Amino acid sequence: MPFALARVAALVATAALVAACAPRARPLAGAPVTTRLPAAQLPAERQRLDFRWEFVDGDLAARGDGVARLASPDSARVDFFLDGGLGGGWAVLIGDRLTTPNGAGAVKRYLPPPALLWAAFGRLAVPAAADTVARRDGDVLRADIGRDPLWRVTFNGDQLSGVARISGGRVAERVERASDGSATYRNDAAHRSLVLRVTRSQGGVAFDDQIWRP
């Protein structure tokens, strides 16, 4: 029994330490508004994004090239290639289902969860909730959706520029998106980040529907 209690205490202490590493969520800035959020959907035409990526997970770091192929309303395939020809991986995201090759758990570890991966591509896909509070500060619109977890979304004009998942009053993980489509995912408690720097964006491209199949 003493060993079991000690183990429980250690787990609780570890959880508290991890939570403390996550930054506290600040109150929404700006004036209260009652407005519909921008649609934040994928473009109607198919799109290809070429990017450089960099992944950091504690002391582990990796980088390389990548390609994302997007199709409205909710389909994406992302391919990663390690620098130096050392291999790579892929993932298919359809709706909220993320599929990777069998035995490729590391690929999922590289990626944000579906709602935040969609945010990296400019699509708002957080769970719907009646509890929504919005505030506007100039051209920036921010909204909190839900309770706990709470999703904080940020728009610059009509463009989705950020999504964060807030749990227990702290920012558990977040995506910030630049005007050129580049995006950064961060999980501060886990010391994990993924940066996607877009090098080329093409619209109206054609690709085989077989790419969505594992």
Share of the chain above pLDDT 90, in %: 65
User: DSSP for 185-200?
Assistant: EEETTTTEEEEEEEEE
Q: Is residue 152 part of a domain?
A: no
Q: What is the pLDDT of residue 14?
A: 40
In a domain, 3, yes or no: no
pLDDT of residue 128: 82
In a domain, 16, yes or no: no
Q: What pLDDT does 88 receive?
A: 84
Phi, psi of 209 (to 5 degrees): -65, -10
pLDDT, tens digit, 9 for 90 and up, residues 49-82: 999 999 999 888 999 999 999 999 999 999 999 9
Low-confidence spans in the chain with pLDDT less than 70? 1-20, 103-106, 214
72: in domain: yes
How many domains, the chain?
1
Rg, Å, the chain Cα set: 19
Q: Is residue 164 part of a domain?
A: no
What is the pTM (predicted TM-score) of this model? 0.87
Identify whether 166 is part of a domain.
no
Closest CA to 43 of 160, 178, 155, 147: 160
For residue range 47-57, list pLDDT tens digits in order: 999 999 999 99
> 122 is in which domain, residue-wise?
36-128+181-212
Q: Within a domain: residue 165?
A: no
**Which helix (H) or strand (E) segment is 18 a member of?**
helix 2-21
Which stretches of the chain are assigned E, i.e. beta strand? 31-33, 47-57, 60-71, 75-82, 88-94, 97-99, 132-137, 140-146, 150-156, 159-167, 170-177, 183-187, 192-203
pLDDT tens-digit readout, 143-153: 999 988 899 99
Sign of the C-alpha dihedral computed for residues 112, 113, 116 and 118 taken in this order:
positive
For 126, half-sphere exposure in the C-beta direction (CA atoms, 13 angstrom radius) is 31
Quick one: pLDDT at residue 127? 86
> Is residue 144 included in any domain, yes or no?
no
